[in-house]
């Protein structure tokens, strides 16, 4: 694990610290904060890390909270794009000629004015009250980006990025492992929100988090009084009453915005109780009493007054930061540790190599498509030439048969008509078949020769036969029609008769068609 210590609101690298299961080593940068020195310190720290790790892989880089801010926004504003737009647009409408420019309170006022250097992370809203404000963490990450790029250029792969807020919540939250143990419970229970406070003696600050089951809800830092320097073995931090009061005020503000509050507080550290005797410029001791810090018991009582009803646990460690990362490195805690998505997903050499190979593959595919297109164009040209040749042959054939067909608008139809004409002229001669008129007349004479039937007319053609008779009653006409339909061997097909009255007679018309074939070949 690599812990990055920064300064100048998170823009400059102050030092790095490698912490593992059996190692704890630190590298410190110079005091010069110029751009060239910052770039050199990043390069030197990357080389130092490469020389001290056995494998070409760094499991995790953890950022300190310097310059990082947790604030709340409206639920409808909880979007990274909107936040970046608000930060970039901050101050754009201010008249620079005004001596006292009007202050515009908004989202941008609560975040660092570093639009291109911030990594925005929306903290989980499902752990807070319904309809409450959303918590957003803005973390300057320029040293983290540059360090990852330098390590990648040196062949060292970085696993993931996180912050000390996420690490503290995942390690010291008593309910951090409850999510993995929930499946083994018979009756589930609600895990309360826990507040973790780390006393950082090196940089002199209280690092606090709110979390549920190790998931960070919000966090913050409070500067406290230091004793000595960060490199001194006797350096430490003084926790005073006013520090606990500021902590309680911050928690009260967050509780009113998120609608939740911690019911358990875990304090990790070993605060210094006495700063030492104050001295004057000549080295003589002054009569003023030394500055004193609170003991762990006094801190617990102050926390009980600032946050009544909460259970307070005190875990004594001289270096809470190292202990936190050591528990993650050894796998004792930190299974629910979350990562910074923006930094963890930052492209590295493997991604660039993948992009290059993808580009080469796309170029190869494009070249293949070009070759196929050229081949298809060549084939299309050959087909077009063959089509022209066939068209010329067709025109020559048509012109050779009939020159007039060349000028025709529809030569195919004209040729089809001529073909039908030729086929019709080659058919065998058809002779109309003779109708057996006499045979049918003889048959009909047996039907119409009955007394009382007066035949008015008999008309025979090659298609039909029509007979008109007169009878006294309609029943006689119906009997004639029935008799005609019962004739066997007749070549006529009789239809229904058509009777009508003619004076005192009934005139019935009988119609029939020949059933013989029309022609014989």
**What is the maximal distance between C-alpha atoms in the chain?**
172
Q: How confident is the model at residue 278 (pLDDT cuts 50, 70, 90)?
A: very low
CB neighbour list of residue 414: distance below 8 Å, 6 or more residues apart: 405, 408
Specify the pLDDT at position 54: 76
CB distance 202 to 180 below 8 Å: no
Instruction: Give the residue from 396, 425, 454 where a domain finishes.
Output: 425
Answer yes or no: is 263 within a domain: yes
Same domain, 164 and 297: yes
Structurally, the chain folds into a number of domains equal to 3
In angstroms, the first-to-last Cα distance of the chain is 109
Nearest 5°: CA angle at 295, between 289 and 298? 105
Q: Are residues 408 and 511 in the same domain?
A: no
Helices of type H across 262-295: none
What local confidence, expressed as pLDDT, does residue 418 receive?
Answer: 82
| 414 & 477 share domain | no
On the question of pLDDT at 321 being above 50, the answer is: yes
List Cβ neighbours of 448 (8 Å cut-off, separation of 6 or more). Answer: 455, 467, 469, 480
Q: What is the mean pLDDT of residues 269-276?
A: 76
Domain limit, last residue, from 425, 457, 472: 425
355 belongs to a structural domain: no
340 and 323 within one domain: yes
More confident residue, 398 or 268: 268
- What's the mean pLDDT in 224-241? 74
In the predicted model, is pLDDT for residue 298 greater than 60?
A: yes
Q: How many CB atoms lie within 10 A of CB 181?
A: 9
Does the structure show a pLDDT above 80 at 124?
no
Is there a single domain that holds both residue 195 and residue 337?
A: yes
Please provide the average confidence, as pLDDT, over all residues in the chain. 81
Q: Does 10 lie in the same domain as 115?
A: yes
Q: Does the structure show a pLDDT above 50 at 16?
A: yes
DSSP string, 34-100: SHHHHHHHHHHHHHHHHHH-SSSEEEEEEE--TT-EEEEE-GGG--HHHHHHHHHHTTTT--TT-SS
**266 and 337 assigned to the same domain:** yes
> Where a domain ends, among 380, 404, 425?
425
Instruction: Give the pairing type, strands 2-7 and 57-63.
Output: parallel
Residue 17's pLDDT is what?
92
Determine the Cα–Cα distance for residues 48 and 25; give it in Å rounded to an integer.
10
Least confident of 156-170, 192-206, 208-222, 339-353: 339-353
Q: Do 50 and 119 belong to one domain?
A: yes
Please report whether residue 400 resides in a domain. Answer: yes
Regarding whether 377 and 461 lie in a shared domain, the answer is no
Written in H, E and C, the secondary structure of 206-244 is EEEEEEECCEEEEEEEEECEEECCCCCCCCEEECCHHHH
Least confident stretch, 109-123, 124-138, 367-381, 439-453: 109-123
Are 205 and 242 in the same domain?
Answer: yes
pLDDT of residue 266 exceeding 70, the answer is yes
Q: Which has the higher per-residue pLDDT, 444 or 279? A: 444
- Residue 406 placed within a domain: yes
Residue 417 phi/psi, 5-degree rounding, is -65, -40
Domain with residue 42: its CATH number is 3.30.420.60
Indicate whether 134 pLDDT > 80: yes
Token pair, residue 25, equals 């080593």
| 396-449 per-position pLDDT tens digit | 887 787 777 767 777 778 778 888 888 877 777 666 677 888 888 888 888 888
What range does the domain containing 412 cover?
Answer: 367-425
The answer as to whether 95 is a domain residue is no
For the cut 50, the answer to whether the pLDDT of residue 38 exceeds it is yes
Determine whether 119 is exposed, middle or buried from the number of CB atoms within 10 Å of its CB (0-12, 13-18, 19+).
buried
CB atoms within 10 A of CB 458: 14
**Domain check: are 62 and 17 in the same one?**
yes
pLDDT tier for residue 170 given thresholds of 50, 70 and 90: very high
Across 301-309, average pLDDT: 91
Q: What is the pLDDT averaged over residues 375-379? A: 94
Asked if the model's pLDDT at residue 107 lies above 80, the reply is no
Question: Do 413 and 444 fall within a single domain?
Answer: no
Burial string for 3-36 (b: 16+ CB within 10 Å, else e) reads bbbbbeebbbbbbbbbbbeeeeebbebeeeeeee
**Residue 418 falls inside a structural domain:** yes
Sheet with 12-19, side-by-side order of all strands: 24-28, 12-19, 2-7, 57-63, 157-163
Contact at 8 Å (CB) between 121 and 73? no
Place of tokens 């008999």: 458
Strands (E), 311-426: 311-315
**What pTM does this model have?**
0.64
Q: Please report, for the domain that includes residue 495, its CATH number.
A: 3.30.1360.100
The pLDDT value given to residue 491? 84
CA-to-CA distance for 58 and 423, rounded, in angstroms?
Answer: 94
Domain assignment of residue 357, yes or no: no
Which segment of 37-46, 340-349, 383-392, 432-441 scores lowest on mean pLDDT? 340-349
- List beta partners, residue 279: 285
Residue/partner pairs of 233-236 with CB below 8 Å, 24 or more apart: 235/201, 235/202, 236/201, 236/270, 236/271, 236/272
Q: Where residue 102 falls among pLDDT bands split at 50, 70, 90?
A: very low
- Whether 302 maps to a domain, the answer reads yes
86 pLDDT more than 70: no
């Amino acid at each position: 694990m690599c812990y990055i210590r920064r300064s100048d609101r998170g823009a400059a690298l102050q030092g790095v610290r490698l912490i593992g299961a059996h190692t704890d080593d630190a590298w410190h940068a110079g005091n010069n904060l110029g751009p060239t020195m910052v770039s050199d310190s990043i390069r030197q720290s990357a080389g130092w890390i490469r020389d001290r790790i056995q494998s070409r892989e760094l499991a995790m880089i953890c950022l300190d909270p310097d310059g990082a801010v947790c604030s709340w926004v409206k639920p409808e504003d909880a979007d990274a794009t909107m936040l970046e737009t608000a930060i970039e647009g901050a101050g754009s409408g201010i008249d620079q000629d005004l001596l006292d420019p009007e202050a515009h309170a908004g989202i941008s006022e609560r975040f660092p004015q570093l639009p291109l250097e911030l990594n925005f992370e929306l903290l989980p809203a499902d752990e807070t009250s319904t309809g409450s404000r959303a918590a957003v963490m803005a973390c300057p990450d320029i040293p983290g980006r540059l360090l990852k790029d330098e390590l990648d250029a040196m062949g060292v792969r970085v696993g993931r990025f996180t912050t000390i807020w996420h690490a503290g919540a995942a390690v010291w939250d008593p309910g951090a492992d409850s999510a993995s143990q929930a499946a083994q419970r018979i009756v589930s229970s609600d895990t309360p929100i826990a507040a973790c406070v780390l006393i950082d003696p090196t940089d002199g600050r209280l690092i606090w988090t709110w979390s549920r089951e190790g998931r960070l809800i919000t966090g913050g830092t409070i500067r406290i009084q230091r004793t000595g320097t960060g490199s001194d073995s006797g350096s430490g931090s003084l926790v005073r009453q006013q520090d606990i009061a500021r902590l309680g005020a911050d928690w009260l503000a967050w509780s009113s915005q998120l609608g939740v509050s911690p019911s358990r507080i875990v304090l990790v550290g070993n605060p210094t109780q006495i700063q030492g005797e104050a001295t004057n410029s000549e080295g003589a001791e002054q009569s003023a009493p030394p500055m004193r810090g609170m003991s762990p018991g006094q801190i617990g009582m102050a926390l009980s007054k600032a946050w009544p009803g909460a259970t307070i646990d005190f875990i004594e460690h001289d270096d809470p930061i190292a202990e936190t990362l050591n528990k993650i490195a050894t796998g004792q805690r930190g299974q629910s540790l979350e990562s910074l998505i923006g930094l963890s997903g930052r492209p590295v050499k493997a991604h660039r190599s993948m992009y290059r190979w993808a580009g080469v593959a796309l170029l190869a595919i494009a070249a293949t498509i070009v070759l196929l297109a050229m081949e298809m164009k060549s084939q299309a040209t050959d087909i077009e030439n063959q089509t022209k040749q066939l068209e010329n042959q067709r025109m020559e054939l048509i012109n050779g048969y009939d020159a007039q067909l060349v000028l025709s608008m529809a030569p195919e139809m004209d040729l089809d008509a001529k073909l039908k004409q030729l086929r019709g002229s080659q058919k065998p001669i058809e002779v109309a078949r003779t109708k057996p008129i006499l045979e049918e007349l003889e048959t009909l004479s047996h039907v119409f020769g009955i007394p009382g039937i007066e035949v008015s007319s008999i008309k025979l053609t090659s298609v039909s036969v029509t007979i008109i008779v007169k009878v006294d009653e309609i029943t006689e006409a119906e009997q004639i029609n029935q008799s005609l339909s019962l004739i066997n061997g007749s070549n006529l097909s009789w239809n229904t008769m058509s009777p009508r009255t003619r004076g005192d007679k009934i005139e019935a018309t009988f119609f029939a068609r020949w059933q013989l074939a029309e022609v014989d070949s």
